[in-house]
Structure 1
Amino acid sequence: MQILPQAGADLVERHLRYIELLQRWNRTFNLTAIRAPLDMVVRHVLDSLTVHPYVRGDRVLDVGSGAGLPGIPLALASPEHSVVLLDSNGKKIRFLRQVVFELALTNVTVVQARAERFRPALPFDTVIARAFADLPALLRIAWPLLAPAGRVLAMKGREPGAELRRLAGDEVAWRCHRLKVPNLAAERCLIVLEPPATANWSV
């Protein structure tokens, strides 16, 4: 199974090694409800990589990274990106640090902190979240972390019409991209948000 177009054997092998680690740690730490390795490949790795073309800039923040999704697949696919995996859960952080160590991910930093309190030394070009929060809440967290030309990527199932309507008063520029995950029938979409400096983050 190709993970990326023209993906080399080393990239495929490293993704499969990540799945092996996830499956092993999942028995103890319950990192994901998905148990079968092939389902993990489709629902986690391939699902994460569908957003790869929408990542902008060099610095990427994965908010509420959990088991490292989508941050680890994106970091593996783009070693030129500097990726920060942010989560507040100690067990998940231990897993992420082990993955970074075993896969020798020199472009990944793991940070344990609540997203609302995280203030990095440098802003991010892309802030991405997968099943983390609704759009107004995500933007309130992401806006202080963004570079001036940054963007927020929100991975969703169906298009979240109600959440998008709640952004109307904030004049946030957004686009919805429908995604096709190989071997997955479920709906997936990506909301790309580019908030103006005058945005009002009221819920």
Structure 2
Amino acid sequence: MNDDVSRETTPSVPEVARRVFASDRLDLAARYTDLLATEGVLRGLIGPREAPRLWDRHVLNSAVLAEVVPEGASVCDIGTGAGLPGLVVAIARPDVQMTLVEPLLRRTTFLDEVVDELGLEHVTVVRGRAEELHGAATFDVVTSRAVAPLERLLGWSMPLVAPTGALVAMKGQSIHEEIASAAAALHTWRCAVPEVLEVGTGVVDPATTVVRVTWADPARIGWPLAREATRRRQRRDKRAVQREVS
């Protein structure tokens, strides 16, 4: 990383960060935030206006997601971007095995450099889309932040969720509407009723809203069924187009 980058907009460490990160992890969190505010802005990963408020709007509200990650869990953060929330959770929780999935090269280059500089040996960066891991790996927790509405997120995330694992996505106040819209998809995927949780209550303001989705029956996970249903729908759509053309 370039140490000559101006740090005029680098945000100072807020006192609340000491309640979120252990004392031996706080310096790592501060260095990552510095890199976001400098290199991240230069590379177009973070908007310049976001730099002064990185701690409050991005880092701390991502870090409290660790509250719902089991000890020693394997975690996959899809569409991680510049590492939010996955890299922040990995900094806060050295006990987890974190996989960061991101398709854009400029972002994965930044992530690789951060992981190397901070010595985060429990973090793996994968350049690609979540779908490319379907059938190849599963995780205890699959996270995301501002990636897609729940209905679409299920299709990308649930194939990566282990039988006893969970999708845990950061969401806004519209999550209840998203759950209602995703009712059919939740049924197709054989998911349990989603839980809406507030994490970081009393620590960050506002608290972080997350939705947690598990399998209804770990012995009968639904993603192979849903994949076949998708294929049947695509075949029907293709036939319909062919009929219109003819």
TM-score range, shorter chain: 0.7 to 0.9
Structure 1 residues without counterparts, runs of 5 or longer: none
2:108 corresponds in structure 1 to 93
Which of 26, 35, 46 is 2:40 aligned to?
Answer: 26
CA-to-aligned-CA distance 1:106-164 (integer Å, 9 cap, x gap): 00000000122224744100000000111111111112111110100110121423320
Query: Which structure is higher in RCO with an 8 Å CA cutoff and minimum separation 6?
Result: 1
Which residue identity is paired with 1:75?
A: A
For residue 47 of structure 1, what is the aligned residue in structure 2? 61
Q: How many residues align?
A: 202
Structure with more of its chain in strand, by fraction: 1
Larger helix share, 1 or 2:
2
For residues 222 and 158 of structure 2, what CA distance do their matches in structure 1 show? 11
DSSP-derived class of the 1:51 partner: helix
| Largest Rg, 1 or 2 | 2
Q: Distance in 1 between matches of 2:50 and 2:181?
A: 37
Unaligned 5+ segments in structure 2 are 1-14, 231-246
- Counterpart CA distance in 1 for 2:202 and 2:170 is 12
Of 77, 80, 83, the match for 1:68: 83
Calculate the aligned-residue CA RMSD, in Å: 2.4
Instruction: Decide whether the 8 Å contact of 2:108 with 2:127 is kept in 1.
Output: yes
Percent identity for Structure 1 against Structure 2: 31
Pick aligned residue for 2:176 from 161, 169, 192: 161
TM-score normalized by the length of structure 1:
0.88
Are the structure 2 counterparts of residues 183 and 61 from structure 1 closer, same or farther at C-alpha, using a change threshold of 3 Å? Answer: closer
Deviation at 1:19, TM superposition (A): 0.8
The 1:34/1:132 distance shift into structure 2, 3 A limit, reads farther
CA–CA separation in structure 2 for the residues paired with 1:178 and 1:95: 30
Q: SS of the counterpart of 1:50?
A: helix
Aligned residue runs from structure 1 range 124-163, under 5 A:
124-163=139-178
The answer to whether the 8 A contact 2:60-2:204 is kept is no
